[in-house]
Amino acid sequence: MLTMDEVHAFVIGMFETMAPWDAKEPMPYNYPSPLTGEYHYYRAGRALGWPIAGLIVIGLLKLAKEVLL
């Protein structure tokens, strides 16, 4: 069963890959990391971030085509 820490680590990795810009504020060193012990979920999120972003773009293009044409 997935825990919230595992899901959180996956989502952090996924959205870190999808964002094309750098973070405005770097994370402070004393921030309690949700990635502690869940690094493999973070890596899986990073691996799936680009394909998911591609699917979102394809879906938006198809929606725009249907709406505009």
Give the pLDDT of residue 67: 93
Residue 12 near residue 49, CB atoms below 8 Å:
no
Give the pLDDT of residue 31: 62
Give the pLDDT of residue 57: 92
Contacts of 46 (CB under 8 A, 6+ apart): 13, 14, 16, 17
Query: How many angstroms separate the first and last alpha carbons of the chain?
Result: 45
Give the pLDDT of residue 66: 92
Residue 8 near residue 36, CB atoms below 8 Å:
no
Mean pLDDT by 10 residues, the chain (69 residues): 83 81 65 73 87 92 92
